[in-house]
Chain A
Amino acid sequence: MCTNHNKLSSNNPDLQAVEKQWDRREFFKKTSLGLGAMALGSLLNTTKARGNTSMTPNDLLNAFNTNKLGLPHHLPKAKRIVYLFQSGGPSQIDLFDYKPKLVDMYGKDLPDSVRAGQRLTGMSAGQTAFPIAASTLNFKQYGESRAWVSEAMPYLSEIVDDLCFIKSMHTDAINHDPAITFFQTGSQLPGRPSIGSWLSYGLGSDNENLPTFITLISKNGSGQPLYSRLWGNGFLPTEHQGVQFRAGKDPVLYLSDPENYDGHDRRNMLNYLGKLNDVAYDTYGDPEINARMTQYEMAFRMQTSVPEVTDTSDEPDHIFEMYGEDSRNPGTYAANCLMARKLLEKDVKFVQLYHQGWDQHGNCPGGVKHQSKNTDQATAALIKDLKQRGMLEDTLVVWGGEFGRTVYSQGQLTATNYGRDHHPKAFTMFMAGAGVKPGFTYGETDDFSYNITKDPVHTHDFQATLLHLFGIDHERLIFKHQGRRFRLTDVHGHAVKDILS
């Protein structure tokens, strides 16, 4: 019974002195750990882990945090993804979903048969009339794929043959917060892990010196707020949460050494801290202790890797020209696109860009043009740049917002101006690269861009497709939490096979 007396977890004399007082606790430690291991074993639910009795709790945890979920389920097409989130709800009617018949119906009330009792937001529900507002922007067809693009996106229109448009997106939510949360986590309510966290949990990291999941927010877009839960890990282990890179001197907060500290003894400090945490982990068996240690070590490596990757000084001029003049100004959408390419080159798995300001309740034509001016060139440049580097082959590019906008004008409709309210029932997104058909348009909407007439793609379908491209069957990437097995797509979603190349 007392053979454990001299068995100490630490080689450090200071710690050993503390540990010697723990004979009784040792007993509880062993028993509780045994239970913990069993619980974890059942959590993993892989015969492999359960059958192997020689696995320590730590092994189990590692197996849990790394790939022991039988992943990938099939041969992946995508290795990395850059998700260009256009926050606010870009107007599909003024950008991609060309509706020429609306010109003749200009100013007429939207027929009730089209709206069919669809709930509206509080912002336009009180309107007495819903005058149809045809887009004042000019549309043209481009490329061999003859895709329609408005004048707001001149650069993107050059590369339509690389894009896969989905014109039949629809979602459940009508307001920004729930709609973005729905897109990024599969649930309108906060608390679920984001797509990037699921990918990190499922597939692990390809570069241990950088986070698997990085978020960049443009400084030249403003509007509805974004919140860190959009790149949060929810109930997944903490190391899977997204890390936000900021513009300016400190891309990652609290990463650089404080003034008057040279950082030479940091390694020693971390080693010692690691031992303390080991002891704590041995005592309590809380997986979050390991997650925290992983984070400390990651932060330490990022002290070297982040300055390296965020330094764009060695980019040639023609690259800056390609992304646009903004790309020399850190923190702009264009600079973030360039940064995204650099991160992807370093095999960061998930780069999430956010550009706010697509919420054109009023002054829609002007607003759309303004937003496009800030994003069009860099988006196109990123896709071209990835392509010429051969990276578009295994990088998925996603462009889209949380919902679309209404065909009717919110507020006063004039000959040159109109506003558009939120519209969840039909909107456009596009993808490019890994495994999606280039120069392809999927889905159709009615003459009002109000209802989907062919091949609807729900938010959950989009998420299922995204996971599919990474070799994941969305029904099998699960995490048991609070007695229930959770998925990104909850109990919904079908991978849209028709858009896969």
Chain B
Amino acid sequence: MNDVSDFVLFLGRFHPLLVHFPIGFLFFALILEIGSKWKKNKNLSAVIPLALFCGAISALLASVLGYMLSQSGDYQEEMLNTHLWLGVATTSIAFLTWTIRTEKIKTPLNNSEKSNTTILILIILLVSITGHYGGNLTHGSNYLTKYAPFYKADKIVLAPIAKLEDAVVFDYLVQPILHNKCASCHNSSKKKGNLSLEDSIAIKKGGENGKVIEAGKALASELIYRTTLDPEHEDFMPPEGKTPLTEEEKQLLTYWIESLDSDFKIKINPSKSPKKILAIMASMLHFEGFKKEGETKLPTVAKIDEAILNNLTNNGFKIRELIFESHLYEIVLPSNTIKANNQNELDMMLAELIKMKENILWLSLSDNLVGDENLVPIAQFQNLQKLVLNNNPITDKGIAKIKKLSNLSSINLHHTSITKSSFNAFEEMEKLKKIYAWNTLVTTEDLENLKLDIEVILGSPSMTSKTK
């Protein structure tokens, strides 16, 4: 197919542009005809031959260009032939009509107005049908009706799956990507580069550049090579103007070719797939529960009454919503809000906080004379992830009171009086990863015997000590 010169193809591409001229001119001829009949206007009918002539000439040009375009071989032959012959017929009849109208040839029909109108309607019908086939060639045969209200999509219905393991990787993940991003140019009726990605058979067959996938060799596969190029590159796919593949989609295709040897029948195997890929698969199939590594799921909580928030603000708390309209908050009691003279207020203030105990993700009470007893209400803050309590008179007794904070990932206790005994409580906090214990009674030696996977930061001079 490559023996067609580029110049022919260059001209051919003007076909979609030029075809609109005959459509317009010929339609206009009919409109003039109707107009002249209706208003009995002779002037209008005098223009009809001109409209027909322009229509016929432009139809001829469009046909020639269309033939050039068809040489690219990107189109399905059967439909192309229908389009071609319909186009030729339209052009011929338009010319014929023009010659009859201008009396270039004499026919008995010459003055029969009725037949004139009929033949014009016939031309319009031909133009419409030809145009429709042309449109199907370019956009795909269901382009026109896809979003029609009565249209029943004949897409492959995938059986709903209950478990991730039930999904065939190709059918449920790979095929939808190819369908969305590639199939508008690479399908059974429009085969750009002689390649169709419509089904497994076509994919295995490849295109004019040979195979499109190389099992086990993602980088050698044309599919991956082209989609991962620099978008400015000439060979980049999808071409300019079309939606490129997302990072996740590329990773998934790569994984399927590289690690699953582009097996068309293989199912998802959660125990063997890397977590990252599994997360992509799960999100594409709308499965919950497979979060990216390290990503903790945020709790869903109820809205807090504006009055409660205002009351807390008036009490001196700083409140900040962590994600817009998530109702999850960071609460900070600025340092030195509580001093020796108003120490008795602290209990009351913390009691206020209980009204929104579910909604607090981060809490900071540093340098506010928080004692062991004050920590009792905080034990109820089950969604708490970060707790900052530095520069407070807190001892191991206080820590024991909050050991049930199972979502806590970081606790800041520098300049408090905790000792290594607090580590019993820390061990119970399943998600705890970091303890800040600079200037406490915890020593470097204390950490050596601990078996926790927790980073304990003791500060200078011994910066951090990581236990096993």
Contact = CB atoms under 8 A, between A and B. Distances in A.
B463 interface: yes
A418 B203 CA distance: 59
Contact of A390 (B328, B334, B457): B457
B463 A384 contact: yes
B434 A74 contact: no
Given A70-B324, A389-B414, A390-B436, A501 B294 contact: yes
B459 interface: yes
Given A206-B332, A388-B457, A71 B414 contact: no
A343 to B, nearest CB: 14
B372 to A, nearest CB: 20
Nearest to B435: A390
Interface in A469-485: 471
A76 B328 CA distance: 12
Contacts of B459: 384, 387-389
B238 to A, nearest CB: 19
B386 A75 contact: no
Contact of B460 (A74, A79, A384): A384
B362 to A, nearest CB: 8
A72 B323 CA distance: 5
A347 B434 CA distance: 21
Residue of B321, B324, B459 with most chain A CB atoms under a 10 A cut-off: B324
B323 A390 contact: no
A344 to B, nearest CB: 13
B407 to A, nearest CB: 13
Given A388-B460, A389-B390, A75 B322 contact: yes
A342 B122 CA distance: 87
Given A206-B318, A388-B460, A390-B436, A74 B323 contact: yes
A335 B460 CA distance: 19
B125 to A, nearest CB: 48
A73 B322 CA distance: 9
A393 B390 CA distance: 14
B324 A390 contact: no
A70 B334 CA distance: 25
A79 B457 CA distance: 20
A388 B294 CA distance: 23
Given A75-B322, A347-B332, A390 B460 contact: no
A156 B314 CA distance: 44
Interface in A389-438: 389-390, 393-394
Contact of B386 (A72, A318, A389, A393): A393
A322 interface: yes
- The contact size tier of chain A is 20 to 34
A193 B234 CA distance: 37
Contacts of B17: none
Nearest to A501: B294
Interface string B201-242: 000000000000000000000000000000000000000000
Q: Of residues A322, A384, A388, which shows the largest number of chain B Cβ atoms within 10 Å of its Cβ?
A: A388
Contacts of A345: 335
A70 B457 CA distance: 36
Interface in B377-399: 386, 388, 390
A388 B414 contact: yes
Interface in A353-388: 384, 387-388
A207 B337 CA distance: 13
Given A75-B298, A393-B386, A388 B322 contact: no
A67 B332 CA distance: 18
Nearest to B326: A75
A76 B322 contact: yes
Contacts of A79: 330
B436 A388 contact: yes
Nearest to A209: B334
A471 B390 contact: no
Contacts of A206: 318, 320, 332
Given A70-B324, A73-B324, A347-B332, A388 B434 contact: no
Interface in B402-456: 410, 412, 414, 434, 436, 438
A471 B438 contact: no
B388 A390 contact: yes
Contact of A471 (B318, B322, B335, B457): B322
A388 B386 contact: no
Contacts of A393: 386, 410, 412, 434
A220 B324 CA distance: 43
A307 to B, nearest CB: 16
Given A72-B324, A206-B320, A471-B322, A387 B463 contact: yes
Contacts of A76: 322
Contact of B323 (A73, A159, A384, A387): A73
Nearest to B318: A206
A318 B439 CA distance: 13
B438 A388 contact: yes
A19 B126 CA distance: 78
Interface in A313-361: 318, 322, 345, 347
Contacts of A471: 322-323
A384 B457 CA distance: 10
14 contacts: A67-B324, A70-B324, A72-B322, A73-B323, A75-B298, A79-B330, A206-B318, A206-B332, A207-B334, A322-B460, A347-B318, A387-B463, A388-B459, A389-B390
Interface of A: 67, 70-76, 79, 159, 206-207, 318, 322, 345, 347, 384, 387-390, 393-394, 471, 501
Q: What 7 pairs across the A-B complex have the smallest Cβ distances?
A: A388-B459, A390-B412, A390-B436, A388-B438, A70-B324, A75-B323, A72-B323
